[in-house]
Amino acid sequence: MSQVMFPVAPVTVPVAGQNARFCVRRIFCVGRNYAAHVREMGGDPQRTPPVFFTKPADAILRDGADFPYPPRTENLHPEVELVVAIGLGGTNIAVSGALHHVVGYAVGNDWTRRDLQANAKRGGEPWDMAKAFDHSASLGPIHLTTDVGHPFAGTIQLSVNGQVRQSGDLSAMITSVPQLIAELSTYVCLQPGDLMYTGTPDGVSAVVPGDRVVCVIEGLGSLVNTVVEHL
Ligand code: MN
């Protein structure tokens, strides 16, 4: 009989300050959530509600790991983002109760093949190959809400080789974390282990092999990855 079962190890990330790990179920991402970034991408922040897309759980890349420059692109962009870790699932979650569903927060990097994304936008095609490729979801340790609360204001910054390229404030989100949770839960039943990348501020630009990319969010520490040649 041929083999049809291929057991896959669960994807887990460390929990800051705990001898525990967060088991990743699904990765949801939000596009167009900081007005200045919407404008730099050629959009109108007044007319663009948040758009949701996904990445596979095994696209997670851990803090400190090398990021292999992906194939099929000549314009790779990192995007620093606040990541929400869901601890309690639900559907049609009310904005007023949405924060009860959050177990923690982390610094994330939504790696993007910007050239493929531009092509997809032009052609009205899916973003998957622009966004959901191998290692495309960098993630730092999960900081529990019992330690850090809910960081809705504070600096969010990305630097490359020590030079700041993106610098914004979490308070500048167009759609807040509770509103995003409520909205996403009208599309899918959220589950414990789900992650939500909440969008990036302006200043996105290309990186190349050899670049050291450092993402920082006030209160959540840093996330460091070095871009290396694809083997
Ligand atoms: Mn993004």
Specify the CATH number for the domain of residue 158.
3.90.850.10
Mean of per-residue pLDDT scores for the chain: 96
Q: Compute the half-sphere exposure of residue 179: CA atoms within 13 Å on the CB side of its CA.
A: 10
CA–centroid distance, residue 199 to ligand 1 (Å): 5
pLDDT at residue 3, as a whole number: 75
Provide mean pLDDT across the span 97-123.
98
Placement of tokens 């990305």 in the chain: 158
CA–centroid distance, residue 29 to ligand 1 (Å): 7
CA–centroid distance, residue 129 to ligand 1 (Å): 14
Helices (H), 57-169: 114-123, 128-131, 145-148
Would the pLDDT of 139 be above 90? Answer: yes
Q: Each residue of 31-57: b (16+ CB within 10 Å) or e?
A: bbbbbebbeebeeeeeeeebeebbbbb
Q: Is residue 178 part of a domain?
A: yes
Domain total in the chain:
1
CA–centroid distance, residue 28 to ligand 1 (Å): 10
Q: Is residue 42 part of a domain?
A: yes
The candidate with the shortest Cα–Cα distance to 87, out of 192, 196, 188, 197, is: 192
For 139, the domain range is 11-228
CA–centroid distance, residue 73 to ligand 1 (Å): 17
d(CA 201, CA 169): 8
CA–centroid distance, residue 109 to ligand 1 (Å): 8
Q: Is residue 93 part of a domain?
A: yes
CA–centroid distance, residue 204 to ligand 1 (Å): 10
Q: Is residue 180 part of a domain?
A: yes
Provide the percentage of residues in the chain whose pLDDT is more than 90: 89
Would the pLDDT of 43 be above 90? Answer: no
Q: Give pLDDT tens digits for 47-103.
A: 777 899 999 999 999 999 999 999 999 999 999 999 999 999 999 999 999 999 999
Helix or strand holding residue 181 (H, E): helix 177-187
The candidate with the shortest Cα–Cα distance to 204, out of 126, 111, 119, is: 111
For 2, residues 6+ apart whose C-beta sits below 8 A from its C-beta are none
pLDDT at residue 1, as a whole number: 60
Placement of tokens 């460091």 in the chain: 224
Helix or strand holding residue 182 (H, E): helix 177-187
Predicted TM-score (pTM) of the model is 0.96
Provide mean pLDDT across the span 7-13.
93
